[in-house]
Amino acid sequence: MTLGVAPSAKTLTITAAPLHVSILLFLGSSLAFFLTLYILLPRLREANLTWFAVYNVVLVLPMLVLLVAALIGYKMEGHPFVWSLLQSRFRLQGMNTTTWLWTIALCVFMFGGRFSVAVTFAIALAAVLFEDQPIQSRLQLLGGLALFLLLSLGVWHTGPWLQHVRLHAEPAHVREFLEHFGSHEFMGIPLEGQWWVAVYYTLVLLCANIAGEELWWRGYLLPRQELVHGRFTWIVHGILWAAFHLFFQWTLWDFVRMLPTCCALSFVAQHRRNTWPGIIGHTFGNSAFLIQIVRGIHG
């Protein structure tokens, strides 16, 4: 895929992130979650903390750390905390028609479903028609998109083989922890009638999970990687982001199945030079559990 012309943003000083720096940042972030989930979690349970308290310590806290890390990285570049500069550095620009179409296509792809690939292509086709590029560049973009979606379908059919290739063991305490994301209870709290749980989880989803990852990965790091990898940055970034989730990937299939959506989100963020598509698409992709919570509350 080739990158088109995106809305301009105020130029700020950004330090390039060579591959070894990117790997260290992704590895360090992943290790933080390994630390809380694999070492801290069982100790918290031994101290008789509730599952809800454990959830906030081992998942919510490290996600908030990513958000803080993004702001620290911004400050270390020498930028003052001025909203207009924050918007420019983290690429939080406005959304035009083309960017909205790419974002909608990304949301469909992230959420998945039987016809998601076909619908994604149709919406992305409309986005390409709005691109401010020569016809040849738009045809190349469309061809790259079609190839990517076909490869994604191929990747998603490797599950029967790759799910037998173990990457590392799933500890019993982590399995027990994940079992508390149920359809009728959340971290030991019965869901029926408990609408505050939906409100709380929405705040966690938006303010910790989405804001933390998107401002850290796409807002802060992606522009630094672009200075090194150019138009192929989205591939490098997408692969590393998929690998970041190794703490919840026990088989090779767990890793491979995330590659298409991770790379797709990275591409749209880079292509449009805008972090909002990633924020919106990531929210859509992670909304399945929130929908499950609402259903459990409704009874």
Q: What is the pLDDT along the chain (299 residues), one digit of tens a residue?
A: 434 333 334 468 899 999 999 999 999 999 999 999 999 999 999 999 999 999 999 999 999 999 999 999 999 999 999 999 999 999 999 999 999 999 999 999 998 888 999 999 999 999 999 998 899 999 999 999 999 999 999 999 999 999 999 999 999 999 999 999 988 999 999 999 999 999 999 999 999 999 999 999 999 999 999 999 999 999 999 999 999 999 999 999 999 999 999 999 999 999 999 999 999 999 998 998 999 999 999 87
| Helix or strand (DSSP H, E) at 151 | helix 135-155
Q: How far apart are CA 207 and CA 40, in angstroms?
A: 23
Q: How far apart are CA 18 and CA 259, in angstroms?
A: 21
| Look-up of token digits 């797709």 | 264
| Look-up of token digits 């992606």 | 222
* pLDDT score recorded for residue 6: 37
Q: How far apart are CA 199 and CA 147, in angstroms?
A: 40
Q: How far apart are CA 77 and CA 12, in angstroms?
A: 9
For residue 287, give both structure tokens. Answer: 């909304």
Side chain identity, residue 60: V
* pLDDT score recorded for residue 299: 74
pTM of the model: 0.92
Closest CA to 245 of 63, 19, 49: 63
> Which residues are CB-neighbours of 162 under 8 A, at least 6 positions away?
251, 252, 253, 256
Tell me the domain boundaries of the chain. 19-298
| Look-up of token digits 């008789």 | 48
Cα distances from 185 to residues 56, 171, 174, 200, 208, in angstroms, run 16, 22, 17, 14, 21
Diameter of the chain by CA atoms? 64
Q: How far apart are CA 268 and CA 278, in angstroms?
A: 7
Closest CA to 236 of 206, 203, 259, 204: 259
